[in-house]
Amino acid sequence: MRARRPDREGHVESHGTRIFWEEHGHGPRAVLFIPPWQIVDSRVWKLQIPYFARHFQTLTFDPPGNGRSDRPATGYDHDRMADHARAVLDAAGVERASLVCLSRSTWPGAILAADHAERVERLVLTATTVDDRERIVPPGFFEPRDHYEGWDKYNAHYWRAHYREFLEFFMSQAFTEPHSTKPREDGLAWGLGTTPEILIATVREWSCRYSASELLARVHAPTLIIHGTEDAVRPLRLAERAHAAIAGSVLMPFEGSGHCPQVRDPVRYNLAVRDFLEPPAAPRRPWRRAMTRPRRALFVSSPIGLGHSLRDVAIARELRALHPDLEIQWLAQDPVTRVLEARGETVHPASRLLAGESAHIESEAGEHDLHVFQAWRNMDEILLANFMVLHDVLEAEPCDLVIGDEAWETDYYLHENPELKRTAFAWLTDFVGWLSMDPDPASREARLTADYNAEMIEQVARFPRIRDRALFVGGRDDVVDRPFGPGLPGIREWTGAHYDFPGYVLPFDPAEFADRDGLRARLGFRPDERVVFAAVGGTAVGQHLLRKVVAASPQMRQRVPDLRLIVVTGPRIDPAGLPPTPGVEYRRFVPDLYAHLAGCDLAIVQGGLSTCMELTATKRPFLYFPLRNHFEQSIHVPHRLARYGAGVRMDYAEADPEVLAHAVAEGLKRPVAYRDVETGGARRAAELIAPLLEGGRR
């Protein structure tokens, strides 16, 4: 799912070819992101578009030969590409724009700046290919070879016979940085959007009416040249020549970056381009002396799992008790904001700029099936967009502390850009370690999860100062005792060395519900009825489980005549979309759901940790259905529940109405003998975090 949808889109005809274009955002100034070689489409700018759309009228388009543009057999020279870009500006009604170019598109960008200077405000050349000395067409490109090793694969015959293999090779050269599995996969998918014949045509027609030296000498627009020092496709010396040829240009090498820094180093790239296109304005708000400022914390609470928000509110409450002058604002999105607003918390206005993580997760789900690791990988542009929101907030406003509860984008991009850390940072999570659902250790998924784990371990080792405090929500034994991957440390051992353990954080004290008869009376539950709750959390992923529960309600009632079935749809499932069924009550958003669950006789839930632990703490019987392919619900959560002797794990695929009704009837009879869940976790977590407000560290 995309981080934002275009505000306008359409096709414009240029040289008889229909070019698909998009417009994002509004503003007095415009920027056009020109796509590079036809091996990719405009999605190569996906990590830029959401951010720049908040500052500019932002345009991009698919190149002819890929994406939603036409695929002509010919017409791929640089001059024609410049005409396509100008046609997009005309279609959008833009008279003057800054141009951001990458690799091959640095030619049309320079052509526009040279021939249509009145329309080009500023120019950014990334990984430039504008050069006469080192041609992109190698000798023998059109001749067959006996062997194809390395760059010998840049060959027309090889492309026709082994196109996918060439794409895999090329993307490995475009993304030479370690841990680049996702960009390479994206590049492969984009490359499959065109054909070998189109790419061959682009090589055959690599031409411009100007020589590179003539062209660059005609560029007078302010120009920024960005080039990775480890670019394996086009060497840095091309950027150095362009810098020497364009008077007044600025060369900004990206040390250690490869051919596509806008993908692998998007935060630094976005900020460098932003500051070049629109230099920071003088501060407009009054400046306040540091010692007169109130203590201020920004809480970033993940919307993936609504239970995070409840424990976070509990921690915030305890932090305020320790620091009564502390101001806490929340950077959060629906459905977390509903929980926060119901409890009188202050949601930061920038929260409206966040891209929807819950909607993305829902878009990746099947019928009670969520490959959550892959869904998280596919959320890369959303995570980057949301980090940029946080960055801009911290850039503009003083803050003493950022608390991130599974705010993965915050933790990852601070480690990737440690110089951007402005405040103390406390990191919370209730699981450590991406785990493969494929039991084969040589499987693709096992290799990917190990690679992501290795990157995290390397980041923490290199920059331990990023996490001033890392809290595991639970105890040491709640951490799974598995390896991160081949050659990597054990998860429990490593977590023990890098985290503090405040114990589990409950949003309530179980003693509050010791009087179950009184609680049931307050909730309107009669003594002569058996109350069963079905609840599936804060996303719409659980709708299939709810449908299965509703379908089984007649069989449940046959086995349990005094049954009262209450189905909680949550904030993102419309009860009207579920079948009206006699004897089934629907409730939508219940802010204090844990209190209702404490009063029920049995609960049917997914495998989310928060709800399961709340049921464990209140000693209520429950059936839990882990989402298929969800490694946390299938591995991390059952490990923890087994320690407490809590819950009955169910298989969604095998739970037909009779099986489900039988499990409910048996669950209502089964005595509960769970271990006690420790209390005071929120207080202990706050006590670990509070010193950061006073300059303390781990």
| Sequential DSSP letters for 312-323 | HHHHHHHHHHH-
Q: Do domains 8-139+209-277 and 290-505+683-694 have the same CATH topology?
A: yes
Quick check: 572 and 538 in contact, CB under 8 A? yes
Which residues does residue 330 pair with via DSSP β-bridges, in sequence order? 299, 347
Question: What pLDDT, on a 0 to 100 scale, did the predictor assign at position 282?
Answer: 62
- At 289 the pLDDT is 81
Which pLDDT score, from 0 to 100, does residue 284 have?
A: 67
Alpha-carbon distance of 97 to 41, in angstroms, equals 21
**If you ran DSSP here, which 8-state letter would residue 465 be given?**
T
How confident is the model at residue 135, as a pLDDT? 67
Only one residue has tokens 């209702």, namely: 596
Q: What is the pTM of this model?
A: 0.96
3-class DSSP assignment, residue 428: strand
**In degrees, to the nearest 5, what angle opens at C-alpha 416 toward C-alphas 375 and 690?**
90
pLDDT of residue 331: 97
Distance CA 546, CA 556 (A): 14
Domain segments of the chain as ranges: 8-139+209-277, 290-505+683-694, 513-669
Classified by CATH at the fold level, domain 8-139+209-277 comes out as Rossmann fold (3.40.50)
Low-confidence ranges of the chain (pLDDT < 50): 698
- What does the pLDDT read at residue 136? 65
Residue 285: the pLDDT is 72
- Half-sphere CA count of 169, side-chain side, radius 13 A: 15
290-505+683-694 classified as CATH 3.30.460:
no
CATH class of 513-669: alpha beta
pLDDT at 283: 63
User: In the 8-state DSSP scheme, what is residue 542?
Assistant: G
Q: How far apart are CA 692 and CA 468, in angstroms?
A: 8
Report d(CA 663, CA 592) in Å as an integer: 26
